Amino acid sequence: MAEAYTLIEDAALGPCNTLRVAARARHYAELRDPAALPAVLDAADARGEPVLVLGEGSNVLFAGDFPGLVLRPAFAGVRRLADDGERVILRVEAGYGWDALVDWSLAQGLAGLENLALIPGLVGAAPIQNIGAYGVEVAERVVAVEAWDRDERRLRRLPVGACAFGYRDSRFKQQPERWIVTAVEFAFSRSAALRLDYAGVREELAAGGITAPTASDVAAAVRRLRRRKLPDPARIGNAGSFFKNPLVADAVARGLREAEPSMPVYPAGRELAKLSAAWLIERCGWRGHREGDAGISAQHALVLVNHGAATGAELLGLARRVADSVCERYGVRLEPEPRIVGATW
């Protein structure tokens, strides 16, 4: 099935990750047909190589070279599975661009993903990270995930309840060596209630004179907000938000709030509270900090940036120092959002 994929030896990964970190892979395969997965994986196993699935590289930090096969899904079909006039279920293959799907669904009059506009990456990565923004997580729209199970050597369809979704987490993220996402089924609505009460969305709409917004209006507002707040990976290397917003016990949050009355605290259910990692990092003085070409964005304290030729090890070292300083001052441990390849956190 050679026509179903392209295999490159000693491949440069700098163009394949948005942090623009120079790294290499022993092999790189662009897969155009998921039916070729068994053959590609068997060949990697025969060579004794680990496998890393890489989409647009917008959620990964290469701390070193990868001594195996980097696999990029390039299959991107869309199929309508059900439509009752109100609820529509689409099956979208892993290689479809995420923001392209947001645009396409809105053009079809389908609501549900508008708050997740302008998130970089491919559809296959969305359930792995359980991407989220502006009060919405993708798990809310997932019906099922189709994935190749490397343990059982077969394609499986996992309904949403079997995906172990959590905050920026999933079964697929917890077991990256086992699962290769090949498609995702999403539920859309033609008249869904819009989610406007998070991080300035309603204010952004009002500033534009929009009093009766559509889903497309919300997506446009979210895009404007993201462009103002986050640096563009096309201009400076970054992987978006590098740290998760930490979850702490309500009692811990109350104690921190007493000491720092301006600290943002959000309810997170189950006697938990969510803190703002950006606020914590900024209070520790890191916003705009730079060490050589490794830095923290002056635009947003959550974003680790590569000003030019920073290595993955340099970026990781800076991120660790940021997290250590937050822990020392507030007793709160930060965890990275991106997958770190070649090192452990």
pLDDT category of residue 270 using cuts at 50, 70 and 90: confident
Question: Would you say residue 213 lies in a domain?
Answer: no
Same domain, 66 and 137: no
Mean pLDDT of 262-286: 94
pLDDT category of residue 1 using cuts at 50, 70 and 90: low
The 10s digit of each residue's pLDDT in 107-130 is: 999 999 999 999 999 999 999 999
The values of phi and psi at residue 109, to 5°, are 80, 25
Instruction: Name the nearest CA neighbour of 186 among 59, 314, 90, 309.
Output: 90
* Domain boundary pick from 151, 167, 189: 189
pLDDT category of residue 278 using cuts at 50, 70 and 90: very high
Question: Would you say residue 24 lies in a domain?
Answer: yes
Same domain, 14 and 83: no
Same domain, 83 and 65: no
Q: What pLDDT is stored for residue 71 in this prediction?
A: 97
Same domain, 110 and 13: no
204 in Cβ contact with 225 (< 8 Å): yes
Q: Are strands 60-62 and 339-341 parallel, antiparallel or unpaired?
A: parallel
The 10s digit of each residue's pLDDT in 124-156 is: 999 999 999 999 999 999 999 999 999 999 999
Return the percentage of the chain with pLDDT > 70, whole number.
Answer: 99
Same domain, 243 and 316: yes
Same domain, 104 and 117: yes
Q: Tell me the catalytic residues.
A: 168, 241, 337
208 in Cβ contact with 202 (< 8 Å): no
Question: Would you say residue 56 lies in a domain?
Answer: yes
The 10s digit of each residue's pLDDT in 45-90 is: 999 999 999 999 999 999 999 999 999 999 999 999 999 999 999 9
CATH number of the domain enclosing 143: 3.30.465.10
The values of phi and psi at residue 313, to 5°, are -65, -40
Torsion over CA: 62, 65, 71, 74 (sign): positive
Token pair for residue 238?
Answer: 């970054």
- Which residues make beta-bridge pairs with 136? 133
Q: How far apart are CA 18 and CA 59, in angstroms?
A: 8
Q: How far apart are CA 150 and CA 191, in angstroms?
A: 39
pTM to 2 decimal places = 0.89
142 in Cβ contact with 129 (< 8 Å): no
Q: Tell me what the pLDDT averaged over the chain comes to.
A: 96
CATH number of the domain enclosing 44: 3.30.43.10
Instruction: Tell me the three-class secondary structure of the chain, residue by residue.
Output: CHHHEEEEEEEECHHHCCCCCCCEEEEEEEECCHHHHHHHHHHHHHCCCCEEECCCCCCEEECCCEEEEEEEECCCCEEEEEECCCEEEEEEECCCEHHHHHHHHHHCCCECCHHHCCCCCEHHHHHHHCCEECCEEHHHCEEEEEEEECCCCEEEEEEHHHCCCECCECHHHHCCCCEEEEEEEEEEECCCCCCCCCCCHHHHHHHCCCCCCCHHHHHHHHHHHHHHHCCCCCCCEEEEECECCCEEEHHHHHHHHHHCCCCCEEEEECCEEEECHHHHHHHCCCCCCEECCEEECCCCCCEEEECCCCCHHHHHHHHHHHHHHHHHHHCCCCCECCEEECCCC
Residue 281: pLDDT over 80: yes
Q: How far apart are CA 181 and CA 140, in angstroms?
A: 18
Q: Which domain holds residue 130?
A: 78-189
Angle at 162 between CA 161 and CA 168, to 5 degrees: 80
Same domain, 177 and 266: no
Mean pLDDT of 192-217: 93
pLDDT category of residue 217 using cuts at 50, 70 and 90: very high
Q: What pLDDT is stored for residue 2 in this prediction?
A: 53
Mean pLDDT of 224-235: 92
Question: Would you say residue 308 lies in a domain?
Answer: yes
Same domain, 39 and 100: no
Count how many domains the chain has. 3
Q: What pLDDT is stored for residue 30 in this prediction?
A: 96
